[in-house]
Amino acid sequence: MREQRRTRVAIVGGGPAGLTAAKALAGTEDVLVIEREAEAGGIPRHSNHWGYGVRDLRTVTTGPAYARRLAEGADEAGAELMTSAMVTGWDGRTLEVTSPNGLVSVEADAVVLATGARERPRTARRIPGDRPAGVYTTGELQNHVHVYGHSVGTRAVVVGSELVSWSAVMTLRHAGARTVLMTSARSEADTYAAVGLAGRVAFGVPVATRTTVERVIGKGRVTGVEVLDHATGRSRMVACDSVVFTADWIPDHELAVKLGLNLQPGSLAPLVDTALRTQAPGVFAAGNLLHPVDTADNAALDGRRVAASVRRWLSGARNLADGVPVHAAEPLTWIAPGLVRPGDPAPVGGRLVAWTSEYVRFPTVVAVQDGREIGRVRTPWPAAPGRIFRIPFSLLAGLDPSGSAVEVRLAS
Ligand SMILES: Cc1cc2nc3c(=O)[nH]c(=O)nc-3n(C[C@H](O)[C@H](O)[C@H](O)COP(=O)(O)OP(=O)(O)OC[C@H]3O[C@@H](n4cnc5c(N)ncnc54)[C@H](O)[C@@H]3O)c2cc1C
């Protein structure tokens, strides 16, 4: 027999975005957070290094301490955290939840999707070869090491060179494995130069640019990978007993797809406006589900924004002005939020967030609507692949609310 529940607000996903929204709403609303893992906290729970909490908590702490603090904050504020419970279906209001206690139907007046993003595994990257043990994404690696205390080998190859790739190197080191090679398909490593330099010096990791892993080798356990140097066209074997596929993010958007929400073409994230509303009334989204992948504090700040929007919805605010879609043009692959409505707040942090496929040291960003340039800003920070590129919202100050879609691109 299926249990029936009712709540004012259901939040799907107990990571930084969902927990922060829960804490902000719980004082005045009945809030239920549904989290598929045994403990709330999201990715930071098993990301056991420093670097969390700067913008939201005004501190720097480790992932597990940050996760605990957010979960305790939501709990103390009065939100109910339903863990080991996965939302497997819904029709926009009633969520179907599968938990060890059986099936539960949860009806809510407002739903916040805060399901985060994940890295594409080897299969999705179509890397051929054998099917041995010892192949992970960073998330899987950190789960094995920090949650289950498993051994992950002694010699690893890390595919990717973003911030998260260095997080994988640290986890491997913690587990007693040396990273013998990091590969990047680009001509430069993707992380901040200072991080890359510190990583190379501190961990002695060689980074091979313009290099890809072409094959995984090993019967039973990984024994090596074949890598291709695109500069020389030469392939070589690298002996290792672990391979970690890092970055290459995809939003955990299955529930958004089930409901038929519009998706952003470049990121496959649900399309939202600056108040973080999706196109379905009473359905909101926040965190890395919208921008794969930003830091946890920015996901948490989304949580605060979405809480304010949910509160407005619950108090009866319904009439929305039509929005103007905002699209990214190459080399920008996506931009969020993708809809701007007159009267809505500026995006979180006063910036649009975007992703680029090309490195530009001093970018000038241009917005074009109906064939006319409506804004232009220069940023002192680069547009760099592998990390979020932030664009001041003042770029869209000249937007015509009755005009057609705006295209945002980098000036050549
Ligand atoms: C290896 C690594 C290192 C990182 N290092 C840093 C760092 O140093 N500093 C920093 O600020 N950020 C760091 N980040 C980024 C940070 O972890 C994310 O920005 C943050 O976790 C995003 O929060 P979120 O709430 O959007 O998503 P998540 O943390 O991914 O949380 C989403 C939650 O939703 C749950 N969920 C998904 N689907 C369902 C469902 N159907 N039903 C129920 N529950 C569901 C998941 O179990 C998960 O708990 C790192 C990320 C990684 C992968």
pLDDT(75) > 80: yes
Whether the CB of 288 sits within 6 Å of ligand 1? yes
How high is the pLDDT of residue 169? 95
- The H or E element that residue 301 is part of is helix 296-314
**Using only C-alpha atoms, what is the Rg of the chain?**
22
CA distances from 110 to 71, 94, 349 (A): 21, 10, 24
14 burial type by CB count under 10 A (0-12 exposed, 13-18 middle, 19+ buried): buried
349-362 tens-digit pLDDT: 999 999 999 999 99
pLDDT(204) > 90: no
Question: Mean pLDDT across the stretch 403-408?
Answer: 98
Nearest CA to ligand 1 atom 7: 51
Whether the CB of 37 sits within 6 Å of ligand 1? yes
What angle (nearest 5°) sits at the alpha carbon of residue 353, between those of residues 47 and 387? 45
32-47 tens-digit pLDDT: 999 999 999 999 998 8
Whether the CB of 115 sits within 6 Å of ligand 1? yes
**The pairing of beta strand 389-392 with beta strand 224-229:** unpaired
Amino acid at 121: P
Write phi, then psi, for 334 (nearest 5 degrees): -155, 165
Nearest CA to ligand 1 atom 27: 116
In the chain, % of residues over pLDDT 90:
88
Q: Which residue has the higher pLDDT, 1 or 63?
A: 63
Q: How many CB atoms lie within 10 A of CB 150?
A: 11
- With CA atoms as reference, report the closest residue to 198 among 167, 153, 159: 167
What does the alpha-carbon distance between residue 163 and residue 244 come to, in Å, rounded to a whole number? Answer: 14
**Residues 255, 13 contacting (CB under 8 angstroms):** no
- pLDDT bin (cut points 50, 70, 90) of residue 214 is very high
Place of tokens 């952003």: 264
CA distances from 333 to 76, 286, 291, 356 (A): 40, 20, 12, 6
Give the torsion sign (CA, 295, 301, 302, 307): positive
- pLDDT bin (cut points 50, 70, 90) of residue 369 is very high
Nearest CA to ligand 1 atom 21: 43
258-277 tens-digit pLDDT: 999 999 989 999 999 999 99
Write down the mean pLDDT value for the chain.
Answer: 95
Minimum mean pLDDT range among 38-52, 68-82, 198-212, 373-387:
198-212
Cis bond before residue 331 (omega within 30° of 0): yes
- What atom in ligand 1 is closest to the CA of residue 254? 41
Whether the CB of 177 sits within 6 Å of ligand 1? no
| Helix, strand, or coil (residue 379) | coil
- pLDDT bin (cut points 50, 70, 90) of residue 201 is confident
Question: Mean pLDDT across the stretch 293-297?
Answer: 95
Report how far ligand 1's centroid is from the alpha carbon of 133 (Å).
25
Whether the CB of 14 sits within 6 Å of ligand 1? yes
What does the alpha-carbon distance between residue 98 and residue 111 come to, in Å, rounded to a whole number? Answer: 17
Place of tokens 């090596």: 224
Report how far ligand 1's centroid is from the alpha carbon of 210 (Å).
29
| Helix, strand, or coil (residue 182) | strand
Whether the CB of 266 sits within 6 Å of ligand 1? no
Whether the CB of 56 sits within 6 Å of ligand 1? no
Q: Which mutation among 46, 56, 99, 115 tests ligand 1's pocket best, with the greatest number of atoms within 8 A of CB? A: 115
- What atom in ligand 1 is closest to the CA of residue 118? 30
How high is the pLDDT of residue 202? 76
CA distances from 322 to 180, 335, 397 (A): 53, 19, 17
**Strand (E) positions, 279-381?**
283-285, 324-328, 332-336, 339-340, 351-356, 364-369, 372-378
- With CA atoms as reference, report the closest residue to 19 among 58, 73, 63, 83: 73
List, as one string, the DSSP characters of 236-289.
EEEE-SEEEE---EEE--HHHHHTT--B-TTT-PBP-BTT-B-SSTTEEE-GGG
CA distances from 231 to 185, 186, 337 (A): 10, 11, 37
Nearest CA to ligand 1 atom 15: 295
Question: Mean pLDDT across the stretch 304-322?
Answer: 95
Whether the CB of 143 sits within 6 Å of ligand 1? no
What does the alpha-carbon distance between residue 181 and residue 301 come to, in Å, rounded to a whole number? Answer: 35
The residues that bridge with 352 in the sheet, in sequence order, are: 391
| Helix, strand, or coil (residue 18) | helix
Report how far ligand 1's centroid is from the alpha carbon of 279 (Å).
24
Whether the CB of 139 sits within 6 Å of ligand 1? yes
Report how far ligand 1's centroid is from the alpha carbon of 264 (Å).
20
Contacts of 384 by beta carbon, 8 Å cutoff, 6+ apart:
190, 356, 359
Q: Which mutation among 11, 43, 84 tests ligand 1's pocket best, with the greatest number of atoms within 8 A of CB? A: 43
Q: How many CB atoms lie within 10 A of CB 215?
A: 15
Question: Mean pLDDT across the stretch 377-404?
Answer: 96
How high is the pLDDT of residue 194? 66
pLDDT(76) > 90: yes
pLDDT(135) > 70: yes
pTM over 0.85: yes
Whether the CB of 13 sits within 6 Å of ligand 1? yes
How high is the pLDDT of residue 190? 67
How high is the pLDDT of residue 189? 67
Report how far ligand 1's centroid is from the alpha carbon of 335 (Å).
20
Question: Mean pLDDT across the stretch 304-327?
Answer: 95
